[in-house]
Amino acid sequence: MNRVTTCGVFAFLALFLWGCGGGGGGGDAPADTGGDTGGNPEPQANGRVAGTITVRVPEQENVVEAEPNDSFDQSHFLGDLRRGRTLTIFGHATSDATDPFDGFRFFAPERVLVTARLEFNDDDQNDFDVAVYDFVASDFVARFLATTSPDEGQFAAKGQFALVVSGAAGEGDYILTVTAEAMPTLLAEEEPNDEFRTGTYFGELPAGDRVSMNGSAVSGDLDSLHFTTRGETQLDIRLTQPNGAQFEALVYDISHDLEEPQLLNTFTPTPGETVLRGEMAVLGGRWIQVIASAVGGSGDYILTVFGEEPPEPAEQGGGGSEPTFVPSSAEDFWQGKAIARAGPPARFGDPAAPLVAGQALVCAKAGSEDAMAASLAANGCRELARIPGHACCVEFDIPANLTPEEQQRFTACKTLELSRCQATAYAEPNYLRQPLLEPNDEFYNLQWHYGALNLPAAWEITTGSADVIVAVIDTGSRTHPDLDSRIIGGYDFISINSIARDGDGRDPDYTDEGDRSQPNGRSSWHGTHVAGTIGAVSDNDEGVAGVTWETGLMILRALGEGGGTTFDISNAIRYAAGLDNASGTTPQLRAHVINMSLGGGGFSNTMNDACQAAIDEGVVICASSGNSGSQGSSYPASYDRVLSIGSTDANNNRSWYSTWGPNLDFMAPGGDLGADRNADGNPDGVLSTHQREPTVGVPMPTENYLQGTSMSSPHAAGIVALMFAVAPEITPAQLETVLQDTAVDLGAEGRDNTFGHGLIDAHAAVFKANPDFGLLPARATLSNGSLLFERLDTLDTVRIQNAGEVFLTVEEIEVHTSNGGAWLSAVGVLNDDPEPTSDIKELTISVNRAGLDDGTYFGRITLHTNGGDVIMHIVMIAQAAPPTPANFNIFVRLVNIETGEIAGTSVVNPATGLEFDFDELPEGTYRLEAGTDDDGDGIICEAGELCGVYPIASSPVLIHVGADQERVGLDFTVTPSGALGG
Catalytic residues: 474, 526, 710
**Kindly report the CA angle at 69 between 153 and 93, in degrees rounded to 5?**
60
Alpha-carbon 219 to chain mean position: 50
Amino acid at 391: A
User: What is the β-pairing status of strands 666-669 and 643-648?
Assistant: parallel
* Paired residues of 91 in beta bridges: 174
> Is there a contact between 268 and 327 (Cβ–Cβ < 8 Å)?
yes
3-state secondary structure 671-733: CECCCCCCCCCCCECEEEEEEECCCCCCCEEEEEEECCHHHHHHHHHHHHHHHHHHCCCCCHH
3-state secondary structure 272-310: CCCEEEEEEEECCCEEEEEEEEEEECCEEEEEEEEEECC
What's phi and psi for 723, nearest 5 deg? Answer: -65, -40
Q: Which of 378, 413, 418, 419 is nearest to 288 (CA)?
A: 413
**Residue 318, C-beta contacts closer than 8 angstroms, at least 6 positions apart:** none
3-state secondary structure 173-212: EEEEEEEEEECCCCEECCCCCCCCCCCEEEEECCCCCEEE
Distance between CA atoms of residues 492 and 924, nearest Å: 31
> Is there a contact between 925 and 958 (Cβ–Cβ < 8 Å)?
yes
Residue 422, SS3 per DSSP: coil
User: What is the β-pairing status of strands 598-599 and 780-782?
Assistant: unpaired
* Distance, first Cα to last Cα, the chain: 43
> Is there a contact between 964 and 46 (Cβ–Cβ < 8 Å)?
yes
> Is there a contact between 252 and 266 (Cβ–Cβ < 8 Å)?
no
* Paired residues of 289 in beta bridges: 226, 252
What's phi and psi for 974, nearest 5 deg? Answer: -115, 140
> Is there a contact between 453 and 669 (Cβ–Cβ < 8 Å)?
yes
CA-atom Rg of the chain in angstroms: 30
3-state secondary structure 373-391: HHHHHHCCCEEEEECCCCC
Distance between CA atoms of residues 152 and 131, nearest Å: 11
Q: Which of 389, 409, 390 is nearest to 399 (CA)?
A: 409
Q: Is 493 left (phi over 0), alpha (psi -120 to 50) or beta?
A: alpha
Q: Which residue intervals of 842-899 are DSSP H helices?
A: none
What's phi and psi for 551, nearest 5 deg? Answer: -60, 140
Distance between CA atoms of residues 458 and 764, nearest Å: 8
> Is there a contact between 638 and 621 (Cβ–Cβ < 8 Å)?
no
> Is there a contact between 683 and 78 (Cβ–Cβ < 8 Å)?
no
